[in-house]
Amino acid sequence: MEYRKLGNTGIQISALSLGSWLTFGKQIDNALAEELMIKAYDSGVNFFDNAEIYARGKSEEVMGDILHRLKWNRSSFMVSSKVYFGFEENKPNQRGLSRKHILEGCDAALKRLRVDYIDLFFCHRPDKNTPILETVQSMNTLIQQGKILYWGTSEWSAQEILQAHLEAERHHLIPPVIEQPQYNMLERKKMEDDYLHIFRYQGMGTTIWSPLSSGILSGKYLSQNPSDTRLSMDGMEWLRERNLTEEKLVKVKAIKIIADELKVTLPQFAIAWCLKNNHVSTVILGASKVKQLEENLEAINVLSLISSDMMLQIDEILSNKPVLSDF
């Protein structure tokens, strides 16, 4: 495993990590979830990603039970949660980034995860109804209380992140140090354009999500319509519509030819491509089967096989590389 510095923090994070969205507490049973965590940990993964909304709290409960059972040394791994969406009764104040929901959400996540502190605590989305200063103050409070170690944002705009830094500096509070955006061959703008300023001047680290665009970049949708996948799950029609388009599949097919020539699998190639970006601190993997995780963890060994010429060839196929005007 390779370890990367998490932005400006003193933390070393494994370049590949494991997430639980749609799998833990939902698509897979708890025994398989445990197998995945053991496989990841034994391969050097030191970060496990979670959120209050995943399977409406169940994902954190499943992960918490596993952590409790496995009794890994607490200093050998990091676990995250994310606050924003809530999931209780949809009453006012049960979601968002107010002081009330942040503090209550953190306490609830600590209980479900069965840990004394959360290593990385994210604001899952920006909250237009809460002043950013209130959110920064609340995260700062949690750090002072020892309930979280670092805080970050997920899918915030660069402007919102900058404002959080500004408020933190002005009020001598601890700023966000990590952002969790989507990043993969089909989704590049935030990581390769919008955030360049905050990488350069704020030194943010990133824990990027959906490296395979929910499985599209595995290539399995090219010649068949597999039925045992997240895109065929009830309630996932929106994700299928968003991700499974003809335009994307044409690109996936062309990228697969390069992966084939390199004699690596398409998922490994697509994940290694994410790692080529130095602003990526960790790629969060998702897996519904152990053999998927085993395959994806090998991406680390594919990284050095991807040449600069190949990167240019990929850019040409994808034709979505942001054009930078001000850098």
Shortest Cβ distance from residue 298 to ligand NDP (Å)? Answer: 10
Shortest Cβ distance from residue 327 to ligand NDP (Å)? Answer: 26
Residue 234: C-alpha distances to residues 27, 217, 229, 237, 238 (Å): 11, 21, 11, 7, 10
CA pair distance 275, 15, nearest whole angstrom: 7
Query: For binding to ligand NDP (CB under 6 A), which residues are involved?
Result: 19-21, 23, 49, 154-155, 180, 209-215, 218, 220, 229-230, 267, 284-288, 292, 295-296
C-beta closer to ligand NDP: residue 156 or 167 = 156
Reduced to 3 states (helix: H, G, I; strand: E, B; else coil), residue 16 is: strand
User: Phi/psi at 119 (nearest 5 deg)?
Assistant: -70, -50
Shortest Cβ distance from residue 82 to ligand NDP (Å)? Answer: 6
Shortest Cβ distance from residue 220 to ligand NDP (Å)? Answer: 5
C-beta closer to ligand NDP: residue 160 or 295 = 295
Reduced to 3 states (helix: H, G, I; strand: E, B; else coil), residue 173 is: coil
C-beta closer to ligand NDP: residue 15 or 166 = 15
Residue 60: C-alpha distances to residues 30, 65, 105, 233, 271 (Å): 12, 8, 12, 21, 25
CA pair distance 33, 154, nearest whole angstrom: 24
C-beta closer to ligand NDP: residue 127 or 295 = 295
Shortest Cβ distance from residue 170 to ligand NDP (Å)? Answer: 27
Catalytic residue from among 54, 84, 150, 195 = 54
Contact criterion met (CB below 8 Å) for 211 and 283: yes
201 included as an active-site residue: no
Contact criterion met (CB below 8 Å) for 281 and 206: yes
Shortest Cβ distance from residue 4 to ligand NDP (Å)? Answer: 17
Contact criterion met (CB below 8 Å) for 112 and 147: no
CA pair distance 117, 123, nearest whole angstrom: 16
Alpha helices in the chain (DSSP H): 30-42, 58-70, 99-113, 132-144, 158-171, 189, 196-197, 237-243, 246-262, 266-275, 290-297, 299-302, 308-318
Residues catalogued as catalytic: 54
